Amino acid sequence: MSNWTYVIIPDIPPEYKARGGTIRVRGFIDSYELKQYNLLPMKDQRMFLPLNAAVRKKIGKKEGDYVHVVLFHDASPVVVPDEIWACLLDAPQAHQFFSSLSESNQKYYIEWIEGAKKIETKVERIQKAIERLENG
């Protein structure tokens, strides 16, 4: 099983297509809730929803299986977990730089930190993120 697969989303109203081509969505794939996911553009004007192995495992599907997808446009701001936010507030330069990042870059940092399986790893990642952000 590869790490990533995708669901093709054929018809997106033009008013939802953003510059840069991505569209943030929320919704469900089967019974699994999707929050702040990005649809990505294909060359033929369609969009696709990338799915990693963790999501497929949670819904019990493998590449090629049919899924039921319900999506809504998501204009909500990126949610920064409290422990990350508290660390950013303790490092003003890192906080300022983080706040200047695009939502997709902020989300990258958050997902990288939150993806840690052990608390020790999470703490190390927060420290590394703060250092990177302080160095711009």
Tens digits of per-residue pLDDT, 56-102? 889 999 888 999 999 998 888 888 999 999 999 999 999 999 999 98
Can you give the residue ranges of every domain in the chain? 4-73, 82-134
Model confidence, pTM? 0.62
Per CATH, is 4-73 categorized as 2.60.40? no
Nearest to 69, CA basis, from 59, 79, 57, 80? 59
**113 close to 130: Cβ distance less than 8 angstroms:** no
The β-bridge relationship of strands 32-41 and 69-73 is unpaired
For 29, 49, 88, the CA distances from 11, given in Å and listed in that order, are 17, 13, 40
Confidence of residue 114 (pLDDT cuts 50, 70, 90): confident
pLDDT tens-digit readout, 37-55:
888 888 887 889 998 888 8
Instruction: Give 103 or 48, the one with higher predicted confidence.
Output: 48
The predicted pLDDT at position 80 comes to: 92
